[in-house]
Amino acid sequence: MMLHRKRLVAAALGAALTMGIPSYGFATELPNLSDFKKAMGEDGCQLIPFADLRGRCIEANAGLHAQDACSAPACQANAGVQENQRRREAWNNCVVRRTATEKAFSDTLSRFESLKRVELRGNQEPNRSYKAAMAAISEKIAAGQPGHAQALRNAKSTLTACSGRI
């Protein structure tokens, strides 16, 4: 299995470089098949099998619904300039965090696309297993994207409205 994984990493890296696709650090960061299978049963950031992207997602989500982020009240004319500036900073924090989360998921899908192009010689069972796991995870990500995109649009709208009140 380890030899197969090394071949997969080398093939992914070579294919990515040949096709002009960023390598995404496959040489050191490619999760093993069990990581992919584990991620299939997860939700949210834990759905991402790549440790670096999962970590970025988790970090962006920590405190997302706090008062200094997406749970801040909207700016109001009677709140005063200083309070509205604080609220605008909170909504900017919300937009930054939601954008980082969205990017972690989109980067995951981009890495999957690069990996799907890799075909190995010999035993194709690991290839099929990786691709099945990627398809299942991609489906879950796709199902959550509309809600995340709407939440980001709402946060951007609130930030824009806040900026207009200051």
Tens digit of each residue's pLDDT (9 = 90 or more) over 53-95: 999 999 999 999 999 999 999 999 999 999 999 999 999 999 9
Separation CA 89–CA 117 (nearest Å): 42
**pLDDT at site 105:** 97
**pLDDT at site 23:** 46
Separation CA 48–CA 29 (nearest Å): 13
DSSP symbol at 72: S
Separation CA 47–CA 35 (nearest Å): 10
User: What is the domain partition of the chain in residue ranges?
Assistant: 46-164
Phi, psi of 59 (to 5 degrees): -60, -40
**pLDDT at site 116:** 81
Closest CA to 120 of 40, 29, 25, 30: 30
